[in-house]
């Protein structure tokens, strides 16, 4: 078995645990780590010293968190996107509908180098209700002035978003299909989507300084590092966590891979949602901040 095919189980440090379904990991320059509990509601900030505080406890389905340049935090979730002032707990609406269509939920979100915000709508009512088939969503971009542009329609289940080190490529994970790669033009808009990796259970993604794409896979419970040419470099599992959902890079050297683990409230996986940290030999890319007003 080659090194790319073998499964690595590196040591990991648990930063937070005991949640239903952890999502949306994000790190800031102070060493704080942000994350959400998709099912139980709210998002959390864990300081470098380990103190954890919960915000907007009644907001469900937060699949993405992005820091804004003014110090506020942008959250996806049920009904769209909001922006929270951490000092006053005041919520500011950002996006509740696209065109004339109300948004059921927005999942992962990510900012680009210009401060625009990308995200994807998702039919969590159907997915989590396990009733009717979910309606497809859209992949969209909000520029700093607040103008919304739909990049792609018919998206089955929008997930992770990331950018190449040179800022010329955008990666977007669409669960059931795979990770797409777009060219970014001089106007900053993505075009020419092609399938980068046909991996049906792709979830969150992140890119490192060598332009490799790290993909969290839900069904297989592993993280796969794809080189820039889409060949597999390594596979990682983190027992005892069966569901690896999302990931981001942090730490002063950006060599901390921060992973959100999902969980199902059942005898098989009781409240196994957690945030864990793994040291990497390649630094990742720092997340951009949004510039929404």
Tell me the CA distances in angstroms from 7 to 1, 86, 226, 253, 258, one per residue in order: 10, 40, 14, 25, 18
What is the predicted pLDDT for the residue at 225?
A: 98
Q: Which residues of the chain have pLDDT under 50?
A: 1, 265
Calculate the CA 157 to chain-centre distance. Answer: 13
Residue 259 phi/psi, 5-degree rounding, is: -120, 135
User: What is the Cα–Cα distance from 34 to 30, expressed in whole angstroms?
Assistant: 12
Nearest CA to 76 among 27, 134, 24?
24
Q: What is the dihedral of CA 109, 165, 192, 206, to 10 degrees?
A: -40
In order of their start, the domains of the chain are 7-279 (2.120.10.30)
236-285 pLDDT tens trace: 999 999 899 999 999 999 999 999 998 764 555 567 899 999 999 999 99
User: What is the Cα–Cα distance from 256 to 245, expressed in whole angstroms?
Assistant: 16
Model-level pTM? 0.95
Q: Is 231 helix (H, G, I), strand (E, B) or coil?
A: coil
Instruction: Report the first-to-last Cα separation within the chain, whole angstroms.
Output: 52
Q: Is 137 helix (H, G, I), strand (E, B) or coil?
A: strand
What is the predicted pLDDT for the residue at 20?
A: 93
Tell me the CA distances in angstroms from 207 to 24, 137, 288, one per residue in order: 15, 24, 12
User: What is the Cα–Cα distance from 289 to 137, expressed in whole angstroms?
Assistant: 24
List, in sequence order, the alpha helices (H) in the chain: 124-129
User: What is the Cα–Cα distance from 32 to 287, expressed in whole angstroms?
Assistant: 13
């Amino acid at each position: 078995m080659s090194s790319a095919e073998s499964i690595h189980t590196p040591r990991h440090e648990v930063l937070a645990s005991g949640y239903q379904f952890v999502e949306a990991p994000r790190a800031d320059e102070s060493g704080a780590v942000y994350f959400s509990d998709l099912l139980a509601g709210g998002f959390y900030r864990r300081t470098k010293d380990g103190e954890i505080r919960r915000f907007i406890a009644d907001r469900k389905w937060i699949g993405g968190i992005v820091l804004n340049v003014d110090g506020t935090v942008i959250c996806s979730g049920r009904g769209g996107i909001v922006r929270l002032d951490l000092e006053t707990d005041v919520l500011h609406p950002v996006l509740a509908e696209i065109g004339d269509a109300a948004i059921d939920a927005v999942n992962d979100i990510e900012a680009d180098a210009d401060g625009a915000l990308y995200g994807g709508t998702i039919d969590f009512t159907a997915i989590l209700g396990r009733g009717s088939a979910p309606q497809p969503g859209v992949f969209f971009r909000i520029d700093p002035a607040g103008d919304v542009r739909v990049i792609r329609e018919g998206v089955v289940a929008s997930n992770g978003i990331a950018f190449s080190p040179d800022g010329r490529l955008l990666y977007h994970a669409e669960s059931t299909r795979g990770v797409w790669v777009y060219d970014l033009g001089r106007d900053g808009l993505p075009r020419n989507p092609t399938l980068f990796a046909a991996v049906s259970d792709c979830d969150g993604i992140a890119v490192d300084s060598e332009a490799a794409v790290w993909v969290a896979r839900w069904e297989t419970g592993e993280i796969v590092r794809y080189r820039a040419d889409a060949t597999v470099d390594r596979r990682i599992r983190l027992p005892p966590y069966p569901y690896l959902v999302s990931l981001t890079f942090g730490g002063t050297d950006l060599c901390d891979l921060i992973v959100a683990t999902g969980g199902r409230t059942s005898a098989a996986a009781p409240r196994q949602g957690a945030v864990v940290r793994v040291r990497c030999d390649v630094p990742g890319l720092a997340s951009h901040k949004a510039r929404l007003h």
